[in-house]
Structure 1
Amino acid sequence: MNTIYPFQPKESVGASKWYEKLGIGYSGNYKGEISFYDSAFQFQQVLDTFQWGASHDIPITLSLPSLGPFQIAPSMSFKEREFAQQFFRTWNPLTEKVDTSIQKGFYSAREMSFGLSFSTAVFGKYQSKNTEAKVQAIRHVMRPQFSVNYRPDLVKKYYYREQVNKAGNTMLFSTLDGGIFSPFSSGENGGMSFGLDNNLEMKVKSKKDTGDVKLKKVKILDGFGISGSYNMLADSFKLSSFNIYARSNLFEKINITANATMDPYKVDPTSGFRTDRYVWEGGKFNPGKIVRGNLNMSTSLKSSKGDEKKKQLQKTGDDEDDNLTNDQMQQQLDYIRRNPSEFTDFSVPWTLTFSYSLSFAKLLQRDYTYKTQLTSSFNFNGDFSLTKKWKFGANGYYDIKTMKLQSLTTFITRDLHCWQMSINVTPVGRYKFFNITINPKSGLLRDLKINRTRYFYTN
């Protein structure tokens, strides 16, 4: 549902009042999942594996008039999630392992939060006095953000501590783990959040083909910054991890994004668990230890575009995508990645996209110990027009660590004017499948389609 403004008049006259900018929204998500093998179908297995869940989100926002250079925005939100089961972990002293059990039923959890944020922008500029210099100006924009927030603990009854190893170490678990939707965070939260975003760009001289000199804006860094929070009501680990990020577009061709998470707490060398002591305690300064991070680089090549008018006609009806929530947009992006043939642009004769990803993280293992995992992969995606109506393409995923092609999907599509036919074949990967789909191009009618899919699983 779109955000509604209950105090906003139908016909606005003059400047808007501050209370007219009060907005109330709603987004709901309902899911159900069933898992079974068609070769050994049993109705009881369907009932045992059936999972369902629901999520409701009601945000309330208000944009107040700026207070000098500062923007002030109060907010309040209410969330509810519903689950079909509870998941329990219990330490077994005989087997010296953690036993698990599931209890079916109807369970709901709620979360409320209140916040007040402050933001501003600070500009800095260096202007070269030499008119013949290649770099004429450099501009730096800083956008600090600060907010105070409060969240009561409404899910305390769903959290408990349980022993996880022979050494007696315990971990905090939720009985709502393992559901379609993740549980809300535990504990009462009352504190502050902070962040600093930066942008760096410059103006350089560039010559046209005619010999005239023109100033061109070049972005050095699209963004780089840090964010974190401090919970004054927590009994331990009050300071959160620091999130550091950077993004840039080199030569307007190569997109680079990088981010890392820095933990400010010391780690017990024997168990590998965090302790409530800062790494800079003891007189020696240490900003923290990087516990996870990733680096992504991508570039895209394509031929000159075809008829722009035709392309605009293909996109007619897609304007409703602007009203989707973040979760709905992410689901749609995942669907596009899994079904690239349904979103083929016939006005472009060929396209090629390459991306490289490197990531590492300290992950919790099944025996409740931590292990650092490194992954490195290369992704490719491309298509070309066989004729004006036919297009062929493929996309794949190559794992550099194992030196194997983990996934490969090929597709061929046919433009049927207002409709589109696509055939997808995945011959490489753990989940091999074949499908044929006939669907309308309009985004409004995207769910109106004929589909036949066949999966082949390999261990």
Structure 2
Amino acid sequence: MLKFNQIFFTCVLLFVNISIKAHAFYQQDTLKTVALKDSLALVKTDTSFVKTDTTKKNSKAGEITDVIKAVASDSSFYDVKNNVMYLMGNARITYGERQIDAGYIKVDYKDNTVFAKGTTDSLGRFSGLPIFKDPAQGTLTADSVFYNFKTAKGKIYQVYTEEDGGYITGGKIKKQKNDELHMKDVVYSTCDLPEPHQHFGIVITKGIATENQIVTGPAYMVIEDVPLPFVLPFGFFPKPNKRASGIILPQVGEDATLGFFLRDFGYYLGLNDYWDMTMKGGIYSKGSYEANVASRYTKRYKYSGNIYLSFSSRKYGVEGTEEYEHPTRDFQIRWSHSQNPNARPGTNFGASVNASTRGAFRNVPGYSYQQIVQNQLSSSISYSKNWANSPFSLSTALTHSQDLSTGTVSLSLPSLNFSMTTLNPFDSKDRVGEQKWYQRIAVGYSLQADNQLSTYDSLLFKPASLRKIRSGVQHNIPISMSSKILKYFQFSQSINYSEKWYFQTVRKHYVARPTPTGTIDSTAIDTIPGFRRASEYSVGGSLNTKIYGMVNFKKGKLMAIRHVLTPNIGFSYRPDFGKPQFGYYDSLQVNQYGEKRAYSIFENGLYGGPGNGRSAAINFGLDNNIEIKVRSSKDTTNNGVKKIPILQGLSINGSYNFVADSMKLSQLSFGGRTFFTEKLGVSFSGTLNPYVFYTETVSGRLVGKDIDRYRWEDGKLPRLTNFNFSFDYSLNSNSLGKNNKSNNPPQQNNSDLFSRVNAQQADQLQQISRNANAFVDFNIPWNLSFYYNFNYSNTGLQRQIVQTLNANGDFNLTPKWKVQFNTGYDFRNNAISLTSFSIYRDLHCWDMSVRWIPFGPYQSYSVDLRVKSSILQDLKLSKRREFYNQF
């Protein structure tokens, strides 16, 4: 309304200034001869009256300094006797960038009034409504405008104007001398139809608007031209020019389990231009309550973020039961912070925190399908620093991961990484020519430090859990050198030194526990505080190359098949750090017969300890890549040649330890991936065990283990111990190349229409920001995607197969109806996973959404009918039944 008031005042000022200047211009020049005849004069059709010397060096305040143009396509009259000017037929008055168009404009200098209205043609059609345009203020349309520039009073009939996504139409508006606007029978709506009350509108029977407030009399709602029998007797709406605090009205309703409620009532605090806060709460008649605080902050070119805290206490069951006497308490914290990269170059601070209790998403209504089924939460608060013109960098972070299904929590408090990029210490910046062998030596350094805690969420802040924090520091110094030999082979050598610092170690001793049936062997573990260091080193080398093979075809679409093999072989050596002189290992008696076994005193350390036993191993691997070239008339960017990958990254890897006592050959791992189409990707991986698996029965129980004998010695292939296969596929109507004309609206050269569409899009984006799942794209008729995963495992004693299929998509029943679904199937349990359906109906300025989970533990539904615009976001009708309701 403030914007409308400004437009009205500017429109009036324009009429006044144009009238004064035009009157003076007529009297001085054009109409001198007409005045002598004292009669009504007809001026030429399509005449433009322009005063060219309106800009003066010593112009006084309030005088017009821009060129004024008055144009009428039909005719222009000046009645000298009555001192009245008439402009008819597409009349236009232009002053600077401001413009007024109307079918008829009359300026009466005698009464100091101006009047503009539309006209009726010979066929009885009404056209030429007064339109005021100002780039700074917007556009205002009305049936007629009357204004007295001497008394500063005026009237506007049947106004039509847009105000921040809302539209004010109809009725009568009177401007008073004290700058008040009196309104009568105007309709406010967010619908952009020419007659918005055909869909919905709020009729204000009486109202007064000032610069800072709007006061209304009785107001009622109209839907489809039908008045609703609910009348608001009066209303008061402040119009502050800055952010202001205020009360948030609650939702009133009934929950079948928790009782009657007042929900989402609270207070909004507009603290300043950079920070605001929203506090909400809810109470239920059966003793439950909830509260949350949300805050946003921003500083331009510096940083921005938001914080959300919530707590709820919910009582289920009936009074006197265990479930009712011990309410379910849940909390949640979310924090997001991002720093502008240009704020402090080389330094960055960011945060993404998401932590909650296990029931926070399940015991509180309003969460989406994705939030209900999620099992993993994670958080990170990080700081990083890069020193300019230096190889050093530093990063530190506090991290959190949480499994909602098991209740386990892992914290890193904090982790630190300090590193130096690889340097060539023996090379010179002024070197000329190729590097010598010693100049190719590269040295790096990295430091890692961490404090980790793993526990259950119920024990997180108890002293017993805090004593389980594990701390450690690790240093790594890699030294490497690489060179080409025999032109086609890349040879690399490396020396790696690693040192770990710990502040506690473990000691184990044998304990025999007597029982009525015998003695049980057990182990007691003691934690010994004190600083200990553990260092180890290894040396190695590798050799790799690429082998290309190609077969060309002269005829047909197939042009060539190319096969690329990348073999690699390497050698690594590590001494035996399990020897007594190092002090890294100790011995433990494992049974009453005195049998002993070595263990590492650093086995509970964050980074482990040095390896036990000497290692001199050969590492080998082979990678394959197969692709074809075909002739394609569609692909013109590559001369009609299209490359299609057939097999990407088919690899197999393993190692052989020459000095091991047994089991010298490691298990063999393989994997690969391929893309049959741009929409279908397939990947697989697995492990092969080359050793014979031996089984026997001990105390009536079948046990087994690998023995040092290869399966091919018995004429068998290596045993497949694990295999994973997965693929995902997505498809939509656009990918099939079909153009749906009904989804492409016709282009219109109408700036008013585009401004309305942009306002609606901005409003829709505001809705999406509040609920990421509210976005519905009606321009794509259908979408479909699914993911399949197959996993096979074989321990030798037990085989297990797990198969899952997940699918989601959407489709348009009609151009205004959209159905979405999300489902899956577990082949192992022969059960359908959590399934949900959503139905959306576009009702122009309204929309309807239905969410339904038909079966399972989260069976629920909700139906919402609401106005699209965020201005009237509380104008809605909802019916829902949450999954926790037991009635």
Common fold, TM-score beyond 0.5? Answer: yes
Q: 2:538 aligns with which of 113, 124, 127?
A: 113
1:160 positional shift: 6.8
Residues 259-268 or 200-209, more deviating: 200-209
Does the aligned pair in 2 maintain the 1:76–1:115 contact within 8 Å? yes
Does the aligned pair in 2 maintain the 1:247–1:255 contact within 8 Å? yes
1:303/1:182 CA distance change after superposition, 3 Å: farther
TM-score normalised by the chain length of structure 2: 0.34
Q: Which residue of 2 aligns with 1:77?
A: 496
1:253 positional shift: 2.6
1:86/1:303 CA distance change after superposition, 3 Å: farther
Q: 1:285 aligns with which of 701, 715, 724?
A: 715
Superposition map of 1:15-414 within 5 A: 15-34=434-453, 44-83=463-502, 84-86=504-506, 88=508, 90=510, 92=512, 94=514, 96=520, 98-105=522-529, 106-128=531-553, 130-131=554-555, 133-156=556-579, 158=584, 174-208=600-634, 214-270=640-696, 271-281=703-713, 284-299=714-729, 355-361=787-793, 372=799, 374-377=801-804, 401=828, 403=831
Instruction: List alignment gaps of at least 5 residues for structure 2.
Output: 1-418, 697-702, 735-768, 810-821, 837-855, 858-887
Question: How far, CA to CA, are the matches of 2:512 and 2:544 in structure 1?
Answer: 51
1:90/1:252 CA distance change after superposition, 3 Å: farther
Task: Output the aligned Cα RMSD.
Answer: 4.4
Pick 1 or 2: higher relative contact order, CA cutoff 8 A, min separation 6. Answer: 1
1:19 positional shift: 2.3
Select the structure of larger CA radius of gyration: 2
1:207 is paired with a residue whose SS is: coil
1:246 is paired with a residue whose SS is: strand
Q: Which residue of 1 aligns with 2:813?
A: none
2:640 is paired with a residue whose SS is: strand
1:125/1:34 CA distance change after superposition, 3 Å: closer
1:97 positional shift: 5.6
Does the aligned pair in 1 maintain the 2:626–2:646 contact within 8 Å? yes
Superposition map of 1:428-439 within 5 A: none
1:146 positional shift: 1.2
Question: How far, CA to CA, are the matches of 1:378 and 1:165 in structure 2?
Answer: 48
Does the aligned pair in 2 maintain the 1:87–1:178 contact within 8 Å? no
Residues 6-15 or 295-304, more deviating: 295-304
Counting matched residue pairs gives 348
Does the aligned pair in 2 maintain the 1:87–1:177 contact within 8 Å? no
1:151 positional shift: 0.9
1:10 is paired with a residue whose SS is: coil
1:218/1:234 CA distance change after superposition, 3 Å: same
1:262-296 deviation per Cα after TM superposition (whole angstroms, max 9, x unaligned): 11111111131111111122xx4223111223223
Does the aligned pair in 2 maintain the 1:18–1:65 contact within 8 Å? no
Which letter does structure 2 place at the counterpart of 1:126? V
Question: How far, CA to CA, are the matches of 1:362 and 1:89 in structure 2?
Answer: 34
Q: Which residue of 2 aligns with 1:333?
A: none
Instruction: List alignment gaps of at least 5 residues for structure 1.
Output: 305-340, 364-368, 383-394, 409-427, 430-459
Question: How far, CA to CA, are the matches of 2:471 and 2:525 in structure 1?
Answer: 18
Of all paired residues, the percent bearing the same amino acid is 33
2:486 is paired with a residue whose SS is: coil
1:419-454 deviation per Cα after TM superposition (whole angstroms, max 9, x unaligned): xxxxxxxxx99xxxxxxxxxxxxxxxxxxxxxxxxx
TM-score normalised by the chain length of structure 1: 0.63
Question: How far, CA to CA, are the matches of 2:723 and 2:612 in structure 1?
Answer: 25
Residues 294-303 or 62-71, more deviating: 294-303
Does the aligned pair in 1 maintain the 2:510–2:591 contact within 8 Å? no
1:62/1:48 CA distance change after superposition, 3 Å: same
Which letter does structure 2 place at the counterpart of 1:86? V
1:401 positional shift: 4.2
1:297-328 deviation per Cα after TM superposition (whole angstroms, max 9, x unaligned): 24567999xxxxxxxxxxxxxxxxxxxxxxxx
Which letter does structure 2 place at the counterpart of 1:6? P
Does the aligned pair in 2 maintain the 1:91–1:162 contact within 8 Å? no
Question: How far, CA to CA, are the matches of 1:31 and 1:67 in structure 2?
Answer: 45
Does the aligned pair in 2 maintain the 1:109–1:155 contact within 8 Å? no
Which letter does structure 1 place at the counterpart of 2:620? F
1:160/1:354 CA distance change after superposition, 3 Å: farther
Which letter does structure 1 place at the counterpart of 2:628? M
Does the aligned pair in 1 maintain the 2:561–2:629 contact within 8 Å? yes
2:656 is paired with a residue whose SS is: strand
Does the aligned pair in 2 maintain the 1:241–1:263 contact within 8 Å? yes
Does the aligned pair in 2 maintain the 1:176–1:182 contact within 8 Å? yes
1:204 positional shift: 1.0
1:252/1:160 CA distance change after superposition, 3 Å: farther
1:387-414 deviation per Cα after TM superposition (whole angstroms, max 9, x unaligned): xxxxxxxx999866455869x9xxxxxx
Residues 76-85 or 36-45, more deviating: 36-45
2:463 is paired with a residue whose SS is: helix
2:632 is paired with a residue whose SS is: strand
1:361/1:4 CA distance change after superposition, 3 Å: farther
Which letter does structure 2 place at the counterpart of 1:138? I
Does the aligned pair in 1 maintain the 2:621–2:651 contact within 8 Å? yes
Does the aligned pair in 2 maintain the 1:151–1:190 contact within 8 Å? yes
1:228-252 deviation per Cα after TM superposition (whole angstroms, max 9, x unaligned): 1111111111111111222212213
1:42 positional shift: 6.6
Which letter does structure 1 place at the counterpart of 2:445? Y
1:202 positional shift: 0.6
